[in-house]
Chain A
């Protein structure tokens, strides 16, 4: 419990810093933000001045940040220039789509990566191991968006097995989830393999072996739990990557989602929307990593002690 509180407390300065960085995005746009935003919209100088007033850009920076933070704490991310609609509303509508895609990709990665990792570690240096390792080495060289094109060409256009666009059915989720999850499944398989091999060499596994326990029992009761530590850490590290990778996947498959919205906003220089999406993704990423730390602490007593001490 104390550990949880400590981790939560440590996240506060980071959240605070995040809000500053995200706030500054508006001011880091080259030139005058108001002019940059209204560029190409036939704005008269009076329009620009009024717009600047509306945005509060005439106030001192600290006041502006204060207002921004105040709104933020009330869950108000501002109004989208593009849709003239509250950004918070828009993001809340889109987040379930992105989370569904990310979780589907994660599940795929675990479903494929974990069994292959175990298989490879159990039959180290056998053909199975070599095949798994080779596929895993190749797997990480396929960025999600390139794999997505390849799979679409084969499964949707060539053989017509799966839909390449839309969100209607569950089958429409297969190609996006597999493209996004494939590199992660490769890395998980390799990581679990290496981790299990390490654990298999440890004294307690030797003891278990000496006592005549079978491979299965050793795997289930002793090895897997300990070998999973690095895998869980990696999942935390990679979750942000999955959300970022969802950007390209959503664009390719024409899925609604936070990533597709981000790209649209970036093209339109819709600053409140960009700020909102980035802040949301960063906060979700932070929460996931917090959960991962807690998960590791539950999984491994050693980590619990370390984290508590540090």
Chain B
């Protein structure tokens, strides 16, 4: 009796290993639910920050470094400001930076990759060498350089992060364009006299849109992370502004007396990155044709791990 159970379980395990099972079918209900909730929460917080936050995030008070209590739900900081209100307002710069910089990165990176991949030749080689050079700097360093050159402020952060992202999109689109270009339908389009612009717009772009979408979602999380890092290091917004990175920097100074100062913005950062990563997984699961270990997916995973 035992032996049969043993064989059966082995057989089951083997079958489970062997059967190609789509990774995202499992638990997708739970993941989707959690994800939707988190994203809605942050977007809601960002848009209605003024309405939902209980206090003015910049209002200084006498009750400094209060631990969480009924008056200040998540405590107060070293200047007596309400930590919860600052966390809610902190969603704003993060989400604005993430969206704007990804849009800018896509708008510049994708056409650059398309041109390089489709035309090949001189322009292509030139663009790709430029991309190689940009990729030789780790993303965070690239962003730090740009912010140092441009000075502090939201605009600088957005420009810095999008410049760091452009080469990713350019490189990915370049690779995809090269392989799509060789497909039969592109040849057919050429044969019936379609212009390069038409081929790029109608035949190539739609075929790489899903890959771009996947990388762009991962890039959202990365942008939030880098913007927090820049702010944490003191190269971003100027202090009275509420931002998770800035608040984390204060939290570092008061780690011993007031743990909530660091933990609240930290959890906000983690939760936003988690939300964008889950969104990326779902989009990748829906659109992906290759496996997760495919070289094209490595870049996305590297990006969503945030350490790039």
Binding site for B on A (CB under 8 A): 13-14, 17-18, 21, 25, 28-30, 124-125, 137-138, 140-146, 149-150, 152-153, 157, 183-184, 186-187, 190-191, 194-195, 197-198, 200-201, 206, 209, 227, 229-230, 233-234, 237-238, 240-245, 247-248, 251-252, 262-263, 266-267, 269, 274, 278, 281-282, 285-286
Report whether A30 and B149 are in contact in the complex, using a CB–CB cutoff of 8 Å: yes
Find the A residue at minimum CB distance from B20.
Answer: A201
Chain A contacts of B252 at CB under 8 A? 149, 252
Q: Does B304 contact A (CB under 8 A)?
A: yes
Report whether A143 and B277 are in contact in the complex, using a CB–CB cutoff of 8 Å: no
Q: Bound complex: CA of A213 vs CA of B251, how far in Å? A: 55
| B251: min CB distance to chain A, Å | 6
Chain A contacts of B145 at CB under 8 A? 25, 274, 278
| A283: min CB distance to chain B, Å | 8
| A203: min CB distance to chain B, Å | 11
Find the A residue at minimum CB distance from B281.
Answer: A137
Q: Select which of B17, B20, B293, B307 is within 8 A of A184 by beta carbon.
A: B307
Q: Bound complex: CA of A194 vs CA of B293, how far in Å? A: 7
Find the B residue at minimum CB distance from A105.
Answer: B307
Q: 5 A-B contacts, Cβ less than 8 Å apart?
A: A138-B270, A142-B270, A233-B298, A238-B305, A266-B235
Report whether B298 and A137 are in contact in the complex, using a CB–CB cutoff of 8 Å: no
Find the A residue at minimum CB distance from B14.
Answer: A209
Q: Bound complex: CA of A124 vs CA of B13, how far in Å? A: 9
Give the size category of B's interface with A.
35 or more
Given A14-B133, A146-B269, A278-B137, check contact A153 B305 (CB 8 Å).
no
Binding site for A on B (CB under 8 A): 14, 16-18, 20, 23, 26, 129-130, 132-133, 136-141, 144-145, 148-151, 225, 228-229, 232-235, 248, 251-252, 255-256, 259, 262-263, 266, 269-271, 273-274, 277-278, 291-293, 295, 298-299, 301-302, 304-308
| B278: min CB distance to chain A, Å | 8
Closest 5 CB pairs of A and B: A240-B138, A244-B140, A244-B138, A241-B307, A17-B133
Find the B residue at minimum CB distance from A148.
Answer: B252
Q: Bound complex: CA of A250 vs CA of B138, how far in Å? A: 17
Chain B contacts of A243 at CB under 8 A? 138, 141
| B68: min CB distance to chain A, Å | 16
Report whether B255 and A145 are in contact in the complex, using a CB–CB cutoff of 8 Å: no
Report whether B149 and A28 are in contact in the complex, using a CB–CB cutoff of 8 Å: yes
Q: Bound complex: CA of A187 vs CA of B280, how far in Å? A: 15
Chain B contacts of A190 at CB under 8 A? 301
Given A244-B138, A244-B139, A278-B137, check contact A145 B305 (CB 8 Å).
no
| A165: min CB distance to chain B, Å | 12
Report whether B16 and A124 are in contact in the complex, using a CB–CB cutoff of 8 Å: yes
Given A187-B305, A238-B308, check contact A141 B129 (CB 8 Å).
no
Q: Select which of B139, B263, B277 is within 8 A of A241 by beta carbon.
A: B139
Given A143-B228, A234-B298, A266-B144, check contact A183 B306 (CB 8 Å).
yes
Chain B contacts of A237 at CB under 8 A? 298-299, 302, 308
Chain A contacts of B308 at CB under 8 A? 237-238, 240-241
Report whether B270 and A141 are in contact in the complex, using a CB–CB cutoff of 8 Å: yes
Given A230-B293, A247-B233, check contact A140 B277 (CB 8 Å).
yes
Chain A contacts of B301 at CB under 8 A? 187, 190-191, 234
Find the A residue at minimum CB distance from B228.
Answer: A143
Report whether B17 and A200 are in contact in the complex, using a CB–CB cutoff of 8 Å: yes
Report whether B277 and A14 are in contact in the complex, using a CB–CB cutoff of 8 Å: no
Chain B contacts of A25 at CB under 8 A? 145, 149
Chain B contacts of A206 at CB under 8 A? 18
Report whether B248 and A145 are in contact in the complex, using a CB–CB cutoff of 8 Å: yes
Report whether A153 and B255 are in contact in the complex, using a CB–CB cutoff of 8 Å: yes
Q: Select which of A18, A145, A183 is within 8 A of B229 by beta carbon.
A: A145
* Other contacts beyond A29-B149, A125-B26, A149-B252: 6, CB < 8 A: A28-B149, A140-B277, A143-B306, A229-B293, A237-B298, A237-B299
